A and B are shown apart, each in its own frame.
Chain A
């Protein structure tokens, strides 16, 4: 299931439920704050995030739907200007971490058994 979403007018994304453990800047420049980042998992494109470059998202959605190879190797307009394209770990926390947003997690099953646990990310 391919899902589009947006944080605001500038930051938009398309993803599937599969996590992306690698990331590459596919278009634009992080420095200039206008870029498309593409996530991959096991050599397939699984998600994309654009910052002030939403007009390219339909193309990347099609790549995700087609499970296109990651990292993308084709020549394209607006290729990154920040230097050589390198694939980096995406830095998402391990799935067994209870939450990567909260720092305190409430655990326990019964109302009488409520505990708080400090959740250390990374």
Chain B
């Protein structure tokens, strides 16, 4: 049986936190360049130019793209034939976050209790989602999530009779009312179906899917295109100052639903769409 040592996991998490915060993924950079070509508003182009230049500076100087280096959201895909040795997996991940945020000069943005609000000082704990898969591979995705865009997200338990029009209205209204707050151009992750928490996790998975890769489900892929058009018709534009490019992508994930339910979750991701995957 393949063994994975927790010390290797800690090292990988620390490194991934730092590089995710310094280097914008290539798919996002490409999408911003395309947005620059599509944007009609001079102000919008000026903003996109600043965002592209900012990513270049961050990468060259090894500094964070955004001062909000986020909540460390961690997606694990653990092969059921792999064995983790050397201690607790959760502790290993949190130790990696602690080290990465300290050594990388990243901001510590987590308070220990949501109402008492005292900073934990090391950006722990992480938010960890685990999936068990066949095989013996251990995949870990670090997606630091900023507060500004997360705050504009939402979940709604629609009625089945609300149908696809209800879904479109919920998504578009949310983007419109968020306006400049979530740092557009955004990526919109939509989770449809399952239960309330399942929809929310799907929405989060949707925002870290590569921009430009449509859903493998034809219905969802068509809905992604339609939603992108509708979202960009809001006119919110880069930085919310008005323009054509409000979103770089809308990604939809779906799951079977109860006969009584139509859950919809929308996770909003700012243009600093940071994520880094490591395979052990």
**A and B together in one complex:** no
List residues of chain A with CB under 8 Å of any chain B CB. Answer: none
